[in-house]
Structure 1
Amino acid sequence: MRLPKITSLYGRIFAIFWFTMFLVLMAVLALPHLDPRNVKELPQDRYNELLTLTKHIEHRFAAEKDISIISQSLVVKYNDYTQQLDQEKQQTLRARKEHSQPPMLFIVDDKDTILTQYRAPNFVYRTVRNFITSVDAASFPKQRLYGRFMVSGPIPIKLADAQYQLYLGERWNRPPGFLFQLFDHPFQLLLAVMLVSTPLLLWLSWALSQPARRLEKAAQSVARGEFTIDPELEKGTSEFRQAGASFNQMVQAVNQMISRQQRLLSDISHELRSPLTRLRMAQALATRKQGESQELIRIDTEAQRLEQMISKLLELSRMQVDSHVNREKQPLQSLWEALLEDTQFEAEQMGKKLTFNPIPARDIYGHPQLLVSALENIIRNAIYYGKDTIKVTMTASTEQLIVRVEDNGEGVPEEELSDIFRPFYRVSTARDRHTGGTGLGLSITESAIRQHNGAIQASRSALGGLLVEIHLPLA
């Protein structure tokens, strides 16, 4: 039966967590059974080999009645017993590296006295005695590893008309030494488990981070004013798919809302031209019939100002319609160099001096026309209201561009600095209605900068006039 695919984020986390815990638990539970230095039951194949060996010994000494002679014979001729095994068993023993030399056979009586005396170090006999004590009254033969010496038994054996116990001692070359280190050092065992589980956890981390990174990049794009739908967001685990689908729906809704708002502004501005045209036509007819008068001149002046406002609104709406979609990467030099040179020439014609530092060799991502219009409005305001000095400074850091435009005019009162970016707002001093402005220039600039995830602020300039500072993120 095929298991269902786990697509849930929390399902994957819990699955990997419990699988890792399962590995640790299995390793801990298996340690006592894997460590050959603990007393363990003799494997069935080894038990069968010892039984075969016991039968050969009993058959070989069936007529001998003195156990001391049998013990001595085992010491002298114990190599012969392994050679008398059938061919299959002999090949099995030879195939095992641990049997590089014949095993030692120990005959033990009912008082746990070792009757077989080999010329072996005391360590061997201490080991056998320790093993005899640890497996006393065992119902099934056991085995235990002492260093590199494996002891197995006991196997009941009948010799010299009496019952004895047979133990087997042999050199053992496995398991590898690094396993003993794991058994003796739990920290190393934990490290081994971590090495097994780490690739799984890294894969899980990568699988979870991919959709999260895509969502992060999409959010950064929206923060930069790029309202684009990314189908890749709707892939991955169910939680991220739902979040990606909701994010795309939000972007689509914001796109539609911005487009409708900007088109509404454009339509209203366009429709205002018709009654304005009729108003000016009526004013012209009245002037022809009645001649010039202060009232008719005032009507004509206000009509002209209204026409300028509508033109500005149409310009703003044309630039903003789909400006959040139609964006491109462009060098700062190609964007603003021509504007700075043109405004510098215009300032000279008015008897004023405009200076600017070299434009940083960096790129910016945005709507070119909006960015040009934003800086142009600020510079032309500085030229118009400055006495004779205008200064433009551009500095770039790792991720940000700072543009400063300042003049030596009368400036703006401190309490009105935060209001000059409001639509149709006019300063109560020299920058008033009589200058011919519509109050939309700085509003257009503030809107353009905000659409590019930037910031704009006004303050008092060191030159004595107004300082406008723009912060824009660089590509």
Structure 2
Amino acid sequence: MRMPSISSLYGRIFATFWFTMLLVLIIVLSIQHFDPRKMTVIPEERYQQLLQTRDNIQNRFAQLSNVYLIAQKLRRESRDRPKRDDRHEHDKHPQPAERADFFITTPDGQLIAPEERRSMKEQALRNFVTNIDDSGIPQQRLYGQFLIAGPLPIQFAKQNYQLYIGINSRRPPSFLLQLFDHPIQLLLVTMLVSTPLLLWLAWALSQPARRLEQAARRVARGELNIDPSLERGSAEFRQAGASFNKMVEAVNQMISRQQRLLSDISHELRSPLTRLGMASSLAKRKQGSSPELERIETETQRLETMISHLLELSRMQVDSHQKREKQPLQSLWEALLDDAQYEAEQTGKSLTFSNIPDRNILCYPPLLISALENTVRNAIYYSRSSVNVDMKDNRNLLTVTVEDDGSGVPEDERESIFRPFYRVSTARDPHSGGTGLGLAITESAIQQHNGRIHAHSSDLGGLKIVIELPLI
């Protein structure tokens, strides 16, 4: 399966991450341009209003020749003007002449008729004048709740001066101003803006990987199904998803061909075995019974039993990865254990089993029933008098222990008893029973259900088989 290129994938992640961070940085930097406390050019509409106010002042004091007297009169009018009412406060375009402070300076920026004690407004004006780069371009700047605009060229007594207009505002500071005044709040807002973008980035990048991980887990459980959703997302993950689906399809075809071949071979072997059995029966009828004919008949029956087991194994393995269903443990094994207990009693032996846990398992029922049946019947056959079956669930793991008091299996042969057609040295004579396929079928069934099986020495003196299966 072709996996995404690591360098390409990391490059995409880093590119998206830095793009997101760059976008956040641009937003943060651009916000500063909306700060009214920065020196900005006066909007055209507002500029025309200020020019009209300047013309009104120039016309009103055209007859006075003392500019200091004019400045004092303007100051006095500003102090004596009544407070603005709510209607004026919310006017969209208030008239500056009704609510403004006026300052007159010389062309070089010297304030005319300054107050004996510097006020906050006068200090703001001096700062404003100092920061003007080009006096020919009127600008404005906010100092707290005091907005200064200017300079506007004005004439008194045929002398050139500059007029600055300060506008008071009692409105609360805007949200942006509060952010600029409190860096912690600005940081929090930046985090609020960037966090959803970063979360979306993490989700978008992890979603295809999560789908691929879930598909791999389903395959590990034996669910060999093609998932079209794997072929969505970025180009790298689309390629990986398509390769993964092709792999699953190839595994399905390989398993089907293998099991079909095994089934076909088993079927083909039955025909000569049937003819061999018929020939043996005819020879026995014509010549009478003999040890040789008895041996031929016994071996023919053993071959027939092996082929039957092979056909059963083939049939169950073909269907096991395609027909999984959720089943309670009781419905799988309760009847089986009751029957096994009855059969053990008929042979003079005892079988005891613990309570079956009230849990569910995802399985192909015939295969899992056959796995425990082979293990239990094998224990009954080789035991002397007693067999014990114990089941315990630990979170999402089921442990099944089957013990007998038979002769056991040598330690060096315990791994080999799960091989097909293998029988331990103490049970190799033809009359010992079994074909050596029971535990092989059991191991195959357990592994197909993502479980494990292993053999140990039992405290009862015989063999202990331990089966571990994942639960849901």
1:110–1:459: structure 2 CA closer, same or farther, 3 Å change rule?
same
Corresponding residue SS for 1:192? helix
Q: Alpha-carbon deviation of 1:54?
A: 1.7
Q: Is residue 2:380 matched to residue 1:403? A: no
Q: Alpha-carbon deviation of 1:420?
A: 0.3
Q: Alpha-carbon deviation of 1:198?
A: 3.0
CA contact (8 A) 2:306 2:435 kept: yes
Unaligned runs of 5+ in 2: 1-7, 82-86
CA contact (8 A) 2:28 2:190 kept: no
Distance across 2 between alignment mates of 1:338 and 1:385: 22
1:45–1:80: structure 2 CA closer, same or farther, 3 Å change rule?
farther
Instruction: Give the aligned partner of residue 59 of structure 2.
Output: 59
Distance across 1 between alignment mates of 2:432 and 2:90: 112
1:113–1:458: structure 2 CA closer, same or farther, 3 Å change rule?
same
Which stretch shifts more, 343-352 or 300-309? 300-309
Amino acid at match of 2:256: S
Which stretch shifts more, 197-206 or 95-104? 95-104
CA contact (8 A) 2:53 2:96 kept: no
Distance across 2 between alignment mates of 1:370 and 1:136: 89
Q: Is residue 2:161 matched to residue 1:191? A: no
Corresponding residue SS for 2:321? coil
Aligned 1:34-45 pairs, distance under 5 A: 34-45=34-45
CA contact (8 A) 1:98 1:174 kept: no
Amino acid at match of 2:36: P
Given candidates 125, 138, 141, the residue that maps to 2:138 is 141
1:110–1:245: structure 2 CA closer, same or farther, 3 Å change rule?
closer
Which stretch shifts more, 399-408 or 302-311? 302-311
CA contact (8 A) 1:330 1:365 kept: yes
Distance across 2 between alignment mates of 1:465 and 1:299: 33
CA contact (8 A) 1:454 1:470 kept: yes
Amino acid at match of 1:59: N
Which stretch shifts more, 292-301 or 258-267? 292-301
Deviation per CA, 1:162-186, whole angstroms, max 9, x where unpaired? 1212111222456835423432455
Amino acid at match of 1:55: D
Question: Could you state the TM-score of these two structures normalised by the residue count of structure 2?
Answer: 0.88
Distance across 1 between alignment mates of 2:443 and 2:65: 117
Question: Could you state the TM-score of these two structures normalised by the residue count of structure 1?
Answer: 0.87
Distance across 1 between alignment mates of 2:75 and 2:291: 142
Q: Is residue 2:438 matched to residue 1:441? A: yes
Instruction: Give the aligned partner of residue 272 of structure 2.
Output: 275
Number of corresponding residues: 461
Which stretch shifts more, 193-202 or 304-313? 193-202
Distance across 1 between alignment mates of 2:204 and 2:462: 57
Distance across 2 between alignment mates of 1:441 and 1:474: 24
Q: Alpha-carbon deviation of 1:21?
A: 3.4
Distance across 2 between alignment mates of 1:270 and 1:414: 37
1:275–1:117: structure 2 CA closer, same or farther, 3 Å change rule?
same
Corresponding residue SS for 2:416? coil
Amino acid at match of 1:60: R
Corresponding residue SS for 1:425? coil
Instruction: Give the aligned partner of residue 50 of structure 1.
Output: 50
Corresponding residue SS for 2:276? helix
1:451–1:440: structure 2 CA closer, same or farther, 3 Å change rule?
same
Q: Is residue 2:258 matched to residue 1:261? A: yes
Amino acid at match of 1:318: R
Deviation per CA, 1:333-377, whole angstroms, max 9, x where unpaired? 111111100110111111111100111111111111111111011
CA contact (8 A) 1:459 1:467 kept: yes
> Where in structure 1 do 4 or more consecutive aligned residues deviate above 6 Å?
8-12, 90-93, 97-101, 118-121
Unaligned runs of 5+ in 1: 1-7, 82-89
Q: CA RMSD in A?
A: 3.2
Amino acid at match of 2:278: M
Q: Alpha-carbon deviation of 1:309?
A: 1.2
Q: Is residue 2:297 matched to residue 1:300? A: yes
Deviation per CA, 1:79-119, whole angstroms, max 9, x where unpaired? 999xxxxxxxx999942589797111111235644224579
Amino acid at match of 1:201: L
Instruction: Give the aligned partner of residue 371 of structure 2.
Output: 374
CA contact (8 A) 1:106 1:168 kept: yes
Q: Is residue 2:158 matched to residue 1:161? A: yes
Which stretch shifts more, 243-252 or 133-142? 133-142
Q: Alpha-carbon deviation of 1:453?
A: 1.1
Corresponding residue SS for 2:426? coil
Instruction: Give the aligned partner of residue 5 of structure 1.
Output: none
Distance across 2 between alignment mates of 1:100 and 1:155: 14
CA contact (8 A) 1:426 1:433 kept: no
1:80–1:173: structure 2 CA closer, same or farther, 3 Å change rule?
closer
Aligned 1:349-388 pairs, distance under 5 A: 349-388=346-385
Distance across 2 between alignment mates of 1:149 and 1:311: 100
Distance across 2 between alignment mates of 1:79 and 1:425: 112
CA contact (8 A) 2:88 2:94 kept: no
Distance across 2 between alignment mates of 1:284 and 1:32: 105
Deviation per CA, 1:214-243, whole angstroms, max 9, x where unpaired? 333322221111122233333344433333
Amino acid at match of 1:48: Q
CA contact (8 A) 2:388 2:403 kept: yes
Q: Is residue 2:295 matched to residue 1:319? A: no
Q: Is residue 2:411 matched to residue 1:414? A: yes
Corresponding residue SS for 1:95? coil
Distance across 2 between alignment mates of 1:68 and 1:375: 112
1:100–1:439: structure 2 CA closer, same or farther, 3 Å change rule?
farther
Q: Alpha-carbon deviation of 1:149?
A: 1.7
Deviation per CA, 1:353-403, whole angstroms, max 9, x where unpaired? 110011111111111111111101110111111111100001112212111
Deviation per CA, 1:6-41, whole angstroms, max 9, x where unpaired? xx9889857754552343342354355332323333
Instruction: Give the aligned partner of residue 72 of structure 1.
Output: 72
Instruction: Give the aligned partner of residue 86 of structure 1.
Output: none
Distance across 2 between alignment mates of 1:118 and 1:432: 125
Corresponding residue SS for 1:321? helix
1:365–1:30: structure 2 CA closer, same or farther, 3 Å change rule?
closer
Given candidates 113, 128, 132, the residue that maps to 1:131 is 128
Instruction: Give the aligned partner of residue 87 of structure 1.
Output: none
Q: Is residue 2:100 matched to residue 1:106? A: no
CA contact (8 A) 1:58 1:157 kept: yes
CA contact (8 A) 1:400 1:474 kept: yes
Which stretch shifts more, 345-354 or 222-231? 222-231
Deviation per CA, 1:217-276, whole angstroms, max 9, x where unpaired? 322221111122233333344433333332222222211211121121111111111111
Which stretch shifts more, 441-450 or 122-131? 122-131
Q: Alpha-carbon deviation of 1:409?
A: 0.9
Deviation per CA, 1:290-327, whole angstroms, max 9, x where unpaired? 43333333222222222221121122222223221122
Corresponding residue SS for 1:36? coil
Instruction: Give the aligned partner of residue 85 of structure 1.
Output: none
Corresponding residue SS for 1:138? coil
